[in-house]
C-alpha cells in the first residue's frame, strides 16, 4: 500500500483533488504516448469474446426455452452452454479481475469495490489510486506542478492480453472492467468499469431546478441539485467541473451556461461556451463538448448530454456526468493513447465513463424509468456500432468486447419482475416488467451480429462475470458486530448517528466491516490500533464465520449469510495477506445494507430495501453463476472465470503460466 493512501481515505474532496491533480500533472508531462500496437502475427485462429456483464444462467435458460434467444440457442448447440463459476465475492471488479489474470483475488488483489486503509480504517477505492505531482512551484495562489502525477491501476498480476503480446498475438480489449488506467501494453485496449468521469467520480450528474428536490451525492458518485431562478424566462447556472490543481485549495472549476425559455412554447435554447442548441421538453441534446479552464494555457475537455425534463410549471434540466472526452482525453483511457482518438474520429463523442448508465439519476427520481432506458439504449446502440466496426477489422488474434446493459438494467428493474420485492409496483411492472427480457434479447442480437460478421473458424465465446438475484433485504454487518460485542463505540455515542467509525473505540473493537462483502479483524501489527493477537486470529475467524452463518431473518426464517468464507482458505497467491479476513456470501434475496459498507451503524440488523436498485450479486457465488457459451466443447464440467482465461491461452497454444490457477476450459 502506498504511504500516501491513508491521507486520501474517504476525504472525498481531497480524493478528487488528487485525481484531478494527477490529470493536470499528466497534461504537463508527456507519458508513454503513441505506443505502437502489438506485433501483428497472423494467427490463423480468431477468438471473439463477448463479455456480457451480469447475464444470469437461470434467466438465459428460461429465455432460450421460451424461444427468445435464438442465437444463444444456436451457439449453445454448437459447443458449450454451462454455468460459469464466479469469484468470491461475485462483484464485477473482482470477477473480471479473475478473468483478466486467470487467478483468484489472492493473485490480483482486487477483493471488493472498496478496500480499507488499515492505518485509518477508512474506505478507499480498490481499483485505482491517484498520486499528485511530487513537486509544485508556488506562485501566490497558483501551484504549478513541476512533475507529472500518476494514476495507478491497483490490480496486480499480468493481464491475459499481455501474455498474448509476449507471443506476438494481437488483441483488442474493449472496455473490460478492472482495467483503469489501462495497463501498459502494445495491444489495443480501452478502459471500462472503473473509469471515472471528468470530476474523478464514478458518475456525478447535475440537476437544475426551481423545485425542492434532494438527491444523494455520495462517496464516488450520485448527483448534485442546483436550485435556479427562472427570471424573465431565463436561467443562468454553472456546470461544476474538476477541481483546479493549479490554484491553492484546489477550488472546483465551473462553466457558465444560460437557458432561454420561450414565453409560450415548451421549448428552450441553451447557450454555453459559444454553442447554442434548442431542446423541446423531454428531449436529449446529444453530446456537447465543454472545456474547463485551470489557467489560460491549461484546460481539460469533457462531454455531457443535456435533458430538458420540464420547462414549466417547474423548470427541470438534467446534465449527465461529464465523461472524459475521448478525442482529447485528460486522463488515460486507452493503449495506445491514439486508439481513443481514433474511435472518437470514427464515432464522434461516446460514453467513456466506466458504467455509463446513470443509475443514480433513476434512483433519485431525477430520471424516470423511460428516461433511464432511453439513455441506456444510447449506450447499447453505441456499443453495437463499435462492435460492428471492430468485427469489420478483426482479422487475427483476439477480440474482447464488453456490454454493460444487462447488469445495469437488472440492478434497476429486478423489482419489477419480483412480486415479493419491497419496491415492486404493479403499474410500473406492467410497463417495464419486460425490460430484463428485452435486454437479454438485445444481447442475443449482439451475438447475432458477431455470428454474421465472423467466419466459421472463429471461436465465439459469450461469457458473463456473475448472475443476478433480487436484493430484497439489507444486512447491517457493523450493527451486528456492535450488538454481538465485536465492535465497541465510545460511551455516549448514538450508533445510528455514527459514520466512518468516527466514535469507534479501537482499543476494544475486534472486527469491522468495510466494503460490500468484507469483514476485517482489528489485527495487531496490521491495523493501526489492532488488538487481536495473531494467535487469536484463527479461533476468532471461526467463531465469527459460525455465528454469521447462523443469522436468520426473523421475518422469513431464511439464513441471511449462506457462507462466510475465511479468505486464507479460499484464496491463493501472493496477495492473500492484503485480503479481508472474511468474505460474506449472502443468501439469495440478501445483500449488505446501504449504510454498513462505509462504517455506519443503522438501527436494524436486517432492513427492507425499498430502493430501485433492486437486483444484485453479492451472494455466495454458487447461487448466481455467470454463463459460458461457446462454439467449442468444454473440457470442464464446472468451469470458472479463470478457466476461460486459461482456455483462451490454450486455444492459441500458449502454455499456462505458473501463477495462473485456471485450468483450460477448451
Interface ranges with other proteins (CB under 8 A): 232-234, 260-265, 267-269, 276-278, 280
Cis peptide before 313 (omega within 30 of 0): yes
Rounded to a whole number of angstroms, the minimum distance from the CB of residue 279 to other proteins is 8
**Residue 218 pairs with which residues in a beta bridge?**
221
Rounded to a whole number of angstroms, the minimum distance from the CB of residue 319 to other proteins is 19
CA 228 to chain centre: 32
Other Cβ atoms closer than 10 A to 506: 18
> Which residues are within 8 A (CB) of 502 and not within 5 positions of it... i.e. 6 or more apart?
none
Residue 184 and residue 340 in contact, taking contact as beta carbons nearer than 8 Å: no
**Rg of the Cα atoms in the chain:** 25
Residue closer to other proteins by CB (options 265, 483) is: 265
Among candidates 157, 193, 152, which has minimal Cα distance to 174? 193
Residue closer to other proteins by CB (options 36, 419) is: 36
Q: CA torsion sign, 301 to 305 to 311 to 316?
A: negative
Residue closer to other proteins by CB (options 65, 262) is: 262
Rounded to a whole number of angstroms, the minimum distance from the CB of residue 339 to other proteins is 13
Rounded to a whole number of angstroms, the minimum distance from the CB of residue 280 to other proteins is 6
Residue 592 and residue 477 in contact, taking contact as beta carbons nearer than 8 Å: yes
Q: Is 90 exposed, middle or buried (0-12, 13-18, 19+ CB in 10 A)?
A: buried
Cis peptide before 336 (omega within 30 of 0): yes
Residue 107 and residue 572 in contact, taking contact as beta carbons nearer than 8 Å: yes
Rounded to a whole number of angstroms, the minimum distance from the CB of residue 343 to other proteins is 14
Residue 396 and residue 170 in contact, taking contact as beta carbons nearer than 8 Å: yes
Residue closer to other proteins by CB (options 248, 345) is: 345
Rounded to a whole number of angstroms, the minimum distance from the CB of residue 327 to other proteins is 11
Q: Is 458 exposed, middle or buried (0-12, 13-18, 19+ CB in 10 A)?
A: middle
Rounded to a whole number of angstroms, the minimum distance from the CB of residue 385 to other proteins is 14
Cell 476485517, residue located = 520
With b for 16 or more beta-carbon neighbours within 10 A and e for fewer, the 380-419 pattern comes to bebbeebbeebbeebeebbbbbbbbbbbbbbbbbbbbbbe
Rounded to a whole number of angstroms, the minimum distance from the CB of residue 226 to other proteins is 22
DSSP state of 220: T
| CA-angle at 353, arms to 348 and 53, nearest 5° | 110
Residue closer to other proteins by CB (options 325, 607) is: 325
Among candidates 149, 240, 238, which has minimal Cα distance to 199? 240
Rounded to a whole number of angstroms, the minimum distance from the CB of residue 340 to other proteins is 13
Residue closer to other proteins by CB (options 70, 286) is: 286
Residue closer to other proteins by CB (options 257, 440) is: 257
Residue closer to other proteins by CB (options 290, 521) is: 290
Rounded to a whole number of angstroms, the minimum distance from the CB of residue 291 to other proteins is 14
Cell 442548441, residue located = 277
Residue closer to other proteins by CB (options 146, 278) is: 278
Residue closer to other proteins by CB (options 268, 463) is: 268
Rounded to a whole number of angstroms, the minimum distance from the CB of residue 278 to other proteins is 4
Q: CA torsion sign, 87 to 408 to 53 to 196?
A: negative
Rounded to a whole number of angstroms, the minimum distance from the CB of residue 40 to other proteins is 21
**Residue 301 pairs with which residues in a beta bridge?**
291
Residue closer to other proteins by CB (options 271, 638) is: 271
Q: Is 317 exposed, middle or buried (0-12, 13-18, 19+ CB in 10 A)?
A: buried
Residue closer to other proteins by CB (options 13, 234) is: 234
Residue closer to other proteins by CB (options 267, 451) is: 267
Rounded to a whole number of angstroms, the minimum distance from the CB of residue 322 to other proteins is 21
Amino acid at each position: 500500500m502506498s504511504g500516501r493512501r491513508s491521507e486520501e481515505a474517504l476525504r472525498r474532496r481531497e480524493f478528487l483533488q488528487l485525481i484531478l491533480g494527477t490529470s493536470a500533472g499528466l497534461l504537463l508531462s508527456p507519458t508513454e504516448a503513441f505506443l505502437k500496437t502489438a506485433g501483428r502475427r497472423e494467427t490463423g485462429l480468431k477468438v471473439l469474446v463477448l463479455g456480457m456483464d451480469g447475464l444470469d444462467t437461470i434467466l438465459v435458460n428460461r429465455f432460450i426455452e421460451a424461444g427468445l434467444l435464438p442465437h444463444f440457442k444456436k451457439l449453445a448447440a454448437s459447443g458449450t452452454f454451462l454455468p460459469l463459476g464466479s469469484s468470491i465475492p461475485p462483484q464485477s471488479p473482482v470477477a473480471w479481475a479473475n478473468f483478466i489474470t486467470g487467478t483468484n483475488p489472492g493473485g490480483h488483489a482486487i477483493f471488493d469495490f472498496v478496500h480499507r486503509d488499515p492505518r485509518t480504517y477508512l474506505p478507499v477505492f480498490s481499483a485505482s489510486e491517484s498520486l499528485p505531482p511530487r513537486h509544485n512551484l508556488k506562485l501566490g495562489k497558483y501551484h504549478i506542478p513541476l512533475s507529472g502525477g500518476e494514476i495507478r491501476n491497483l490490480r496486480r498480476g499480468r493481464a491475459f492480453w499481455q501474455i498474448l503480446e509476449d507471443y506476438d498475438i494481437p488483441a483488442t480489449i474493449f472496455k473490460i472492467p478492472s482495467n483503469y488506467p489501462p495497463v501498459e501494453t502494445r495491444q489495443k485496449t480501452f478502459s471500462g468499469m472503473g473509469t471515472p468521469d471528468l470530476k474523478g467520480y464514478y458518475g456525478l450528474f447535475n440537476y437544475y431546478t426551481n423545485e425542492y428536490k434532494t438527491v444523494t451525492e455520495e462517496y464516488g458518485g450520485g448527483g448534485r441539485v442546483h436550485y435556479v431562478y427562472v427570471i424573465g424566462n431565463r436561467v443562468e447556472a454553472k456546470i461544476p467541473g474538476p477541481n483546479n490543481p493549479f490554484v491553492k485549495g484546489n477550488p472546483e472549476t465551473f462553466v457558465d451556461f444560460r437557458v432561454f425559455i420561450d414565453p409560450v412554447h415548451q421549448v428552450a435554447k441553451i447557450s454555453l461556451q459559444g454553442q447554442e442548441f434548442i431542446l423541446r421538453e423531454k428531449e436529449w441534446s446529444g453530446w456537447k463538448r465543454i472545456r474547463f479552464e485551470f489557467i489560460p494555457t491549461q484546460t481539460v475537455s469533457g462531454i455531457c448530454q443535456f435533458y430538458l425534463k420540464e420547462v414549466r410549471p417547474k423548470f427541470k434540466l438534467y446534465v449527465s456526468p461529464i465523461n472524459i472526452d475521448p478525442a482529447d482525453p485528460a486522463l488515460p483511457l486507452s493503449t495506445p493513447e491514439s486508439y481513443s482518438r481514433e474511435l472518437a474520429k470514427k464515432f464522434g463523442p461516446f460514453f467513456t465513463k466506466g458504467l455509463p448508465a446513470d443509475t443514480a439519476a433513476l434512483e433519485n427520481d431525477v430520471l424516470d424509468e423511460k428516461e433511464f432506458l432511453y439513455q441506456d439504449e444510447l449506450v447499447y446502440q453505441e456499443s453495437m456500432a463499435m462492435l460492428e466496426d471492430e468485427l469489420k477489422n478483426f482479422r487475427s488474434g483476439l477480440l474482447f468486447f464488453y456490454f454493460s446493459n444487462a447488469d445495469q438494467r437488472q440492478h434497476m428493474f429486478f423489482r419489477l419482475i419480483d412480486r415479493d420485492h419491497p419496491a415492486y409496483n404493479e403499474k410500473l411492472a406492467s410497463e417495464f416488467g419486460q425490460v430484463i427480457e428485452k435486454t437479454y434479447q438485445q444481447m442475443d442480437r449482439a451475438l447475432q451480429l458477431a455470428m454474421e460478421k465472423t467466419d466459421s473458424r472463429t471461436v465465439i465465446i459469450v461469457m458473463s462475470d456473475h448472475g443476478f438475484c433480487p436484493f430484497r433485504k439489507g444486512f447491517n454487518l457493523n450493527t451486528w458486530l456492535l450488538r454481538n460485542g465485536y465492535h465497541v463505540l465510545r460511551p455516549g455515542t448514538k450508533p445510528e448517528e455514527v459514520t466512518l467509525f468516527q466514535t469507534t473505540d479501537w482499543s476494544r473493537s475486534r472486527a469491522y466491516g468495510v466494503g460490500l462483502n468484507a469483514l476485517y479483524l482489528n489485527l495487531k501489527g496490521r491495523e493501526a490500533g489492532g488488538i487481536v493477537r495473531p494467535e487469536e486470529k484463527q479461533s476468532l475467524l471461526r467463531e465469527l464465520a459460525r455465528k454469521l452463518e447462523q443469522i436468520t431473518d426473523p421475518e422469513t426464517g431464511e439464513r441471511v449469510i449462506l457462507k462466510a468464507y475465511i479468505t486464507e482458505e479460499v484464496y491463493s497467491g501472493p496477495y492473500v495477506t492484503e485480503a479481508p479476513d472474511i468474505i460474506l456470501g449472502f443468501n439469495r434475496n440478501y445483500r449488505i445494507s446501504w449504510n454498513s459498507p462505509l462504517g455506519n451503524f443503522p438501527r436494524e440488523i436486517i432492513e427492507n430495501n425499498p430502493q430501485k436498485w433492486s437486483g444484485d450479486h453479492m451472494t455466495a457465488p454458487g447461487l448466481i453463476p455467470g454463463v459460458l457459451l461457446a462454439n467449442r466443447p468444454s473440457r470442464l464440467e464446472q468451469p470458472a472465470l479463470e478457466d476461460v482465461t486459461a482456455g483462451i491461452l490454450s486455444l492459441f497454444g500458449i502454455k499456462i503460466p505458473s501463477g495462473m490457477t485456471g485450468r483450460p476450459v477448451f
